Amino acid sequence: VTSFSFLLCSHRPCGLAGNGKGWMAGRAFRRHDPSGQRNKVSPSDPPEEEEEELEETAQEKKLRLAKLYLEQLRQQEEEKAEARAFEEDQVAGRLKEDVVSGGRVTQHLSAQIQAPASADIRVLRGHQLSITCLVITPDDSAIFSAAKDCTIIKWSMESGRKLHVIPRAKKGAEGKPPGHSSHVLCMAISSDGKYLASGDRSKLILIWEAQSCQHLYTFTGHRDAVSGLAFRRGTHQLYSTSHDRSVKVWNVAENSYVETLFGHQDAVAALDALSRECCVTAGGRDGTVRVWKIPEESQLVFYGHQGSIDCIHLINEEHMVSGADDGSVALWGLSKKRPLALQREAHGLRGEPGLEQPFWISSVAALLNTDLVATGSHSSCVRLWQCGEGFRQLDLLCDIPLVGFINSLKFSSSGDFLVAGVGQEHRLGRWWRIKEARNSVCIIPLRRVPVPPAAGS
């Protein structure tokens, strides 16, 4: 208040005249002629009447300036309030996003999923041999599939047409278009959709530009077949694993090798990663699932399956699902060394009475940060499961009929469809051959039905 009063009192209005002894209030003087005489005013002189109307006293001007100053202060405070509200909305949105991506919030979507009809499943055919792996672009616009025929095909999600084919490369052929000369076992795509990585039985990792399918780099270093690839989300850091029992870290943007980690006692079958600087692996016949903490160069070891663990997928940053050839599907939490839930004979039994064996689990997938899980085998169906409260239970939702080995499963980012890679043979071998199966990519729509509100809500 003191500073505001000082501002008003120290301002010299244009309608005041100084007389040397202080300020004297009064009407503003009219124009003077050169002789010093006051101009005469007649009633018929319009300019003089307008000037008379515009005159204001010093007190009126003080009041006008005060109102103007207060209005400016009000506008400034409103702008500050709007800025604060915008920042709070931004921070709240970022915190919510971090909480969801960090696995601390699980969206319960499984209850809304409706079993699709067989006629709604789209089948894309182009590979000559069994599909081994596939990935979906982050914007859900395209699918990359790879097979035992050593080719990679990019498909349009909307039309189902081939956008690009990376053909098989002949061994020892130099100067020819680059490609794989042996079975492609795994693929991964970066979260920005820029890079595609593919690994094969010839120990090679090929890096492609995902948009144009142009070959960029070739990473060498593994001593056996490359069986698993995953990009760390939000980065171009690539994790790879192999039948040589190691896990390697690469920087794709800089075309460089970073480090190698050891620990598994048998050929590693699969790998997955999310945003944290760590990855998870399925250890095959050594019977372990491992979480690799890259900065600390340490690992956590988990036990639970009785057979070879062939597939693994992260549900969120704290939980994962795995499948084994003993027919079991396990849900894991990073704080427990044993499974939170174990579903034995998840796809049933096969064989003659008295000699039954469980169907191998050949693929698993999870819709990120939800309670929806999918599993594949060669039991003529894909199964959708609901994770119970705290991931301590696995409940069957529905069966989706598909004949053949389900060697790869991937949910779209939006959760609107599930893509299955189907083959006549298992991706890692030729133990059985299902002649009636089609080597194809199957797009399964996932329709959601609204859940009725609870009684009394």
- Give 367-380 pLDDT, tens digit per residue: 999 999 999 999 99
User: Could you tell me if residue 1 is inside a domain?
Assistant: no
Q: Which domain covers residue 147, as residue numbers?
A: 114-170+177-448
Confidence at residue 112, expressed as pLDDT on a 0 to 100 scale: 85
pLDDT in tens, 378-390: 999 999 999 999 9
User: Could you tell me if residue 339 is inside a domain?
Assistant: yes
Distance CA 279, CA 169 (A): 31
User: Could you tell me if residue 152 is inside a domain?
Assistant: yes
**215: closest CA among 166, 153, 250, 145?**
166
Q: State the CATH number of the domain containing residue 374.
A: 2.130.10.10
pLDDT in tens, 410-436: 999 999 999 999 999 998 888 889 999
User: Could you tell me if residue 56 is inside a domain?
Assistant: no
Q: How confident is the model at residue 170 (pLDDT cuts 50, 70, 90)?
A: confident
User: Could you tell me if residue 366 is inside a domain?
Assistant: yes
pLDDT in tens, 125-161: 999 999 999 999 999 999 999 999 999 999 999 999 9
Distance CA 8, CA 58 (A): 11
Q: How many CB atoms lie within 10 A of CB 452?
A: 7
pLDDT of residue 1 exceeding 60, the answer is no
pLDDT of residue 162 exceeding 90, the answer is yes
Contacts 24+ apart (CB under 8 A), 213-216: 213/152, 213/154, 213/164, 213/166, 215/177, 215/178, 215/179, 216/255
Distance CA 447, CA 445 (A): 6
Q: How many CB atoms lie within 10 A of CB 132?
A: 26
User: Could you tell me if residue 73 is inside a domain?
Assistant: no
Distance of CA 6 to the CA centre of its chain: 59
* pTM, to two decimals: 0.76
Quote the number of domains for the chain. 1
Residue pair 236/189 in contact by the 8 Å Cβ criterion: no
Distances (CA, A) of 227 to 70, 126, 299, 333: 71, 23, 19, 24
User: Could you tell me if residue 416 is inside a domain?
Assistant: yes
Residue with tokens 């055919």: 125
Residue pair 418/385 in contact by the 8 Å Cβ criterion: no
